[in-house]
Amino acid sequence: MPAIRAVRAAVPDHRLVLATTESLRPLAELIDAVDEVLPARELEPLDWTGPPPELAVDLHGKGPASHVVVADLAPGRLLTFDSPGYPGPTWYADEHEVRRWCRLVSEGLGVDADPDALDLAVPAVPPPLRDVAVVHPGAAFPGRRWPADRFAAVARHLAGAGHDVRITGGPAEVELAHSVASAAGLGGDAVLAGRTTSMELAAVVAAARVVVCGDTGVAHLATAYRRPSVVLFGPVSPALWGPPPRSQHVVLWHGWVQGGSGDPWGTELDPALARITVDEVVAALDALVAPSGGSPRACEG
């Protein structure tokens, strides 16, 4: 979002079209700098029917596969990271994702890009629930999925402290969410997985008391809405994908195991993520938010 906002600042009079997957369209439409969302498929040609755009920016990857997608639109100007046949700013593997895309736009278009411009508009739909403790046990790949029994222990602790605990997840994570709720001693009503749209889930996070999750999209929503969060990292360092250094976002990470980065798409629990204990997560949550009825200890500024 900060990079998109910087593009808008560079070409304030242009119509800004964001190409992204259909599943992300509702969230993309919440970005104030975007005029239109164009449904896209991963690394496939875009269904673009208009004239060649004056400017095309690749905010997907270091190329060249993603560069080809935007280059095929025959834009008047193309901005990408440097790769064979595509001159541009240098890609640095150890750079945080947010700062990486901000630097691309800043160097390529000559505008300032604020890495902290991460706020997202709150969805127009009312949240199904407010002031809840969100426990999100899922992740796209097992390598980033902290064990369900540990999430259950955390949920049990939060409930015991008086918090209204809700287990979130997507349609494919309903069984996981119910297993966590059951092991935590919570009823089926505590499970929101499979019962919310993406907009309703975003609304729940925006109104949440606290969020605990792995390195997932829900963590980014907690950042976008400045909600207190405890985020568990394993295969990838938070220096690359983590939240900004704000008091309300707590990151737990034990460093890479065996001397190198793990696999964020791995099929087995990452060893570094496995090192995070329930006690660590509980301590972080207790330091971050007061028991139900009190006020969050972390400020939102």
The confidence score (pLDDT) of residue 259 equals: 59
pLDDT at 95 over 50: yes
Q: What number of other Cβ atoms are within 10 A of residue 63's Cβ?
A: 21
Tokens describing residue 243 = 């939240």
Alpha-carbon span 111 to 108, nearest angstrom: 8
pLDDT above 90 coverage of the chain, percent? 91
Q: What is the pLDDT of residues 38-50, one digit of tens each?
A: 999 999 999 999 9
Asked whether the predicted pLDDT for residue 154 surpasses 90, the reply is: yes
Give residue-wise pLDDT tens across range 109-133: 999 999 999 999 999 999 999 999 9
Please name the amino acid found at residue 167. I
> pLDDT tens, 53-94?
999 999 999 999 999 999 999 999 999 999 999 999 999 999
pLDDT in tens, 204-249: 999 999 999 999 999 999 999 999 999 999 999 999 999 999 999 9
State the amino acid at position 262 in one-letter form.
G
Over residues 160-178, the pLDDT tens digits come to: 999 999 999 999 999 999 9
DSSP string, 211-242: EEEESSHHHHHHHHTT--EEEE--SS-HHHHP
Helix orientation angle between 278-288 and 148-160, rounded to the nearest 10 degrees: 40
From 242, 232, 222, select the one nearest 282 (Cα to Cα): 232
Q: What is the mean pLDDT of residues 261-290?
A: 92
Please choose, from the candidates 279, 301, 296, 298, the residue with its C-alpha nearest in 3D space to the C-alpha of residue 133: 296
pLDDT at 290: 73
pLDDT in tens, 176-203: 999 999 999 999 999 999 999 999 999 9
Give residue 221's pLDDT.
97
Which residue has 């540990």 as its token pair? 150
pLDDT at 297 over 50: no
How far is 189 from 166, CA to CA, in rounded Å?
Answer: 8
Angle, CA of 219, 221 and 222, to the nearest 5°? 65
Q: Measured between alpha carbons, how far is residue 200 from residues 25, 107, 125 in Å?
A: 14, 37, 7
In sequence order, the 6+-apart residues with CB closer than 8 A to the CB of 251 are 231, 233, 238, 242, 243
Residue 28 in this model has a pLDDT that exceeds 50: yes
Q: Give how far the C-alpha of residue 8 lies from the chain's centroid of Cα atoms, to the nearest Å.
A: 21
